[in-house]
Amino acid sequence: MEEEDGVSKLAAVTACTAMALLYVAILYAPTLILRLPPPPSAKTFMIRRFVCAAVSSILSLLVSGLILSIRSSEASILFGVYGIRADHIWQAVVFPLSLTSLMYAGSLVLKILLLVDSRRENANRGGEGISLQNFLASIVSVASNVLAWRSYVVAPLTEELVFRACMIPLLLCGGFKPYTVIRLCPIFFSLAHLNHLMEFYSKKNYSWIKTSLAVGLQLGYTVIFGSYASFLLIRTGHLLAPLVAHAFCNFMGLPVLFSRRNGIVSVAFLAGMVGFLWLLFPMTRPDLYNDRLNNCKCWHGYCSWD
């Protein structure tokens, strides 16, 4: 679908900018527009934000579908364009998750070392270690934690729907090349995190310098991750690929590069990064995630990278 089919580069960029701003602005709608009283608890506050993020995602999906001019009778095509698919699920989960975990090789090794030390100390004190009952209790505790739902479910799902599923087809159909889209999408993704600038400054009483450093680090990370997530969706055509990577990255946090207590952490990180770069293209080959490569309605060019 080229520009003459109704999607220009200007229209695609404008729509993406509007969706990014909507994703942030709607979070403040309950108090600024609906004039609702302040939430009585942190849980109520997060639930409000969950609803706002869901509304923003649905609106973005509808607007994107209208701009792409896909009729309601072609709903299955539209879901495919968004990467919302029921096929090749295990490939879209296992391969991207394995690939992403290589970036966290240092972090995983450090966690294992800390776990071994903890079990050793517990054994020296005559403890029983981690029982199945305690393990299950911890899982239930995490599952009932509203912050866990935000970080591992709501944020990955809504952000991937808006910033990847909706924006990437628009930009590709607008005539942008895949590599340009990979560089462009993170800019919109970063716009949705600029609200943290005022939140850090006003709510946490940070100085402007400390706020700028904290938000700058976060924006730098979102740009890198946004590029990677965009790469995954363009290469695989499956929304689950960046979705599971997003949830995993939120769970792990920033990768651990080194540890003063053990040099093996740095070795693991370097080995993981080498493995990640070596397997980046082979583990995201489009034919691993698609039965056919000639049925991409809008994603012209993504199948010709190899």
Active site residues: 159, 193
**CA–CA separation, 161 and 25 (whole Å):** 17
Please list, in sequence order, all residues whose beta carbon lies within 8 angstroms of the beta carbon of residue 44, skipping any fewer than 6 positions away. Answer: none
**CA–CA separation, 172 and 9 (whole Å):** 9
Is there a contact between 289 and 236 (Cβ–Cβ < 8 Å)?
yes
Please list, in sequence order, all residues whose beta carbon lies within 8 angstroms of the beta carbon of residue 273, skipping any fewer than 6 positions away. Answer: 102, 103, 105
Is there a contact between 48 and 31 (Cβ–Cβ < 8 Å)?
no
Please list, in sequence order, all residues whose beta carbon lies within 8 angstroms of the beta carbon of residue 303, skipping any fewer than 6 positions away. Answer: 286, 293, 294, 296
Tell me how far the alpha carbon of residue 10 is from its chain's centroid.
25
SS3 content of the chain, % helix, strand, coil (to 5): 75, 0, 25
Angle separating helix axes 240-252 and 208-236, nearest 10 degrees? 150
Provide the 10 A C-beta neighbour count for residue 162: 26
Is there a contact between 290 and 88 (Cβ–Cβ < 8 Å)?
yes
Please list, in sequence order, all residues whose beta carbon lies within 8 angstroms of the beta carbon of residue 6, skipping any fewer than 6 positions away. Answer: 67, 69
b/e for 41-79, b at 16 or more Cβ within 10 A? Answer: eeeeebbbbbebbeebbebbbebbbebbebeeeeeeebb
**CA–CA separation, 244 and 296 (whole Å):** 23
